[in-house]
Copies of this chain bind each other. A is one copy, B any other.
Amino acid sequence: MSAAEAEESYSYLGPPGTFTWAALQQVERARGKRWRSVNNVGEALDDVVTGRSTAAMIAIENSVDGGVSATQDALASIPNLRIVGEYLVPVRFVLVALPGTRLEDVHVVAAHPVAYAQCHGWLERALPEHAHVPATSNVAAADDLTGEHVLADAAIAPPGITEGRDVVVLADDIGDNPHAVTRFVLVSRAARVPEPTGADKTSIIAELPTDEPGSLLEMLEQFATRGVNMSLIESRPIGDELGRYRFVIDLDGHVRDERVADALLGLKRYSPSVIFLGSYPRADRRSIEVTTRYSDTAFREAREWLESIVDGDAREP
């Protein structure tokens, strides 16, 4: 056991200072363990599949850009993975440069394309004449300010970037949307589903059986008729041809909640392919309210009633 614990490690899109790194900071059980910085979602999940890492932290949705396609597609295609936790990180950006640089000296800005897009408004106003050099990550953008080939005069990066780097903040909070937040999930190998906490989320990916009118509707009815709310639904192309989709869906509730289990049974019978990604505590810890009709008690009482019927003990209370 202690050997295993000693080996516990966590993969994340590095280097330290990225938003993913900030998300992993929130995971209590990851503290003091080994963290593996990787270059993309594929590497992170590969670490989990091969056992190099206990779990991987990956971005799954952004309040501005929507679902992270690479993550959704990886979760749809790599078997035996499970989401075990959810974490929110506010998206804040700063413009950094080498000490001594003034804003009016900035002509070329290094930025990851997503970060660049999210600061577009500020850049238009403050640096209307700038050129953009794309970077592979927010931290790599800062690295473009130093090293052998200096590519840019300034970089867009997360606030933590100044730690351990010789850069200064030229402008703070330059993101266009002050409420922007990124949702991360911690992914491990499939294991027994954890107990419900009363504030859980369940993630699945499902395909439609046909593309007839109403087939999506019929799939969604599996949730609606059991009072199960969807907090997310995203379509993703299956990839073989235009017009064929799978759906990435987040449900309020836990697979051990009767209504969620019943909805998944209905979904499984309907869809040619359902992938269960996990039931896990919500990042916001907000309890799910369920009307009496969809409570565990209602499900249990209905089952007891049905059993009494079939055995002929009773008909109606």
Interface set of A (CB-CB < 8 Å, partner B): 42, 61-67, 69-70, 79-82, 88, 113, 117, 120, 132, 134-136, 149, 177, 179-181, 183, 190-193, 211-214, 216-218, 220-225, 227-237, 239-243, 245, 255-256, 261, 264-266, 268-270, 273-276, 293-294, 298-299, 301-303, 305-306, 309-316
Q: Tell me if A312 and B136 are in contact (CB < 8 A).
A: no
Q: A134-B136, A181-B242, A236-B66 are in contact. Are A80 and B314 (CB under 8 A)?
A: yes
Residues of B within 8 A of A177 (CB): 239-240
Which residues of chain B are within 8 angstroms of A302 by Cβ–Cβ distance? 264-266, 268-269
Q: Are A217 and B224 in contact (CB-based, < 8 A)?
A: yes
Q: How many copies does the complex hold?
A: 4
Whether A192 lies near B316 (C-beta < 8 A) is: no
Interface of A is mostly: mixed
Q: Are B241 and A216 in contact (CB under 8 A)?
A: no
Q: Which residues of B contact A274 (CB under 8 A)?
A: 305, 316
CB distance from A191 to the nearest CB of B (A): 4
* From B273, B276, B310, B314, contact of A255 by CB (8 A): B310
